[in-house]
Amino acid sequence: MKQTSIKKLAAAGVLCALAVAGSVFLTFPVLGSKCAPVQHMVNILCAVFLGPWYGVGTAFAASLLRNLLGVGSILAFPGSMCGALLCGLAFWKTRNLVITLLAEVLGTGILGGLAAYPLAAAFLSQSAADIAFTAYVVPFLISTAVGSALAGALVFALQKSGALKSIQASFHS
C-alpha cells in the first residue's frame, strides 16, 4: 500500500512538472485568459493513471506553480481543478476513455469557465472583470479541446499497444 502511494505521488509530481513546463512552451492568450492545453492533457492522464483526487491535487499544484512563475493566471485554478475532478470521477466510474475526454471538456470548458468569472471580477483588471459571465467559457473550451485531443491520441495509442493496462497495473499493485 505504501509503495503504491509513493509511486502515485511521484507520478503526480512528474505530471505536475509536465503541466508547468508545457505552460511555458505551449500557452496562448484568448480573451484575457492564458490557455494551457498541456494542463488538460495532464488532467486526463491523472484521471486514467492515478484517480480523481491525485488529479485535483496535481491540477492545484500546477496552477499554483504556474502563477508563482508568472506563466499562468488566477483563472488556472477553476479551469484545471473542475476539469480534473470531473474527468477523474468519470474515468473512475465508467473506465470509458471517450466519456473521460468529454468530462474534461465539460468540467474545464463549461464549469471551470463559469467559475472563472468571480475570480476575474475579484482579482484581475477591470477590463477582465467587465467581460460577460460566460465569456471565459470560450477560451477554456478551446484550451481543453486541444489538450483533450492530445491526451486522447496518447491514451488511445497506449491502449492499442497494450501499454495502458500495464501502466495502470503498476499504480495499483
CA angle 97, 54, 112 (to 5 degrees): 70
31: region left, alpha or beta (phi > 0 left; psi from -120 to 50 alpha): left
Higher pLDDT, 26 or 114: 114
pLDDT-wise least confident of 95-99, 114-118, 135-139: 135-139
pTM comes to 0.89
pLDDT tens per residue across span 77-93:
998 999 999 999 999 99
H-state helical runs in the chain: 2-25, 37-49, 52-69, 76-94, 97-104, 113-123, 126-129, 137-161, 163-171
The secondary structure of 41-55 as a DSSP string is: HHHHHHHHHT-HHHH
pLDDT tens per residue across span 101-134:
999 999 999 999 888 888 877 877 666 656 666 6
Give the pLDDT band (50/70/90) at residue 140. Answer: confident
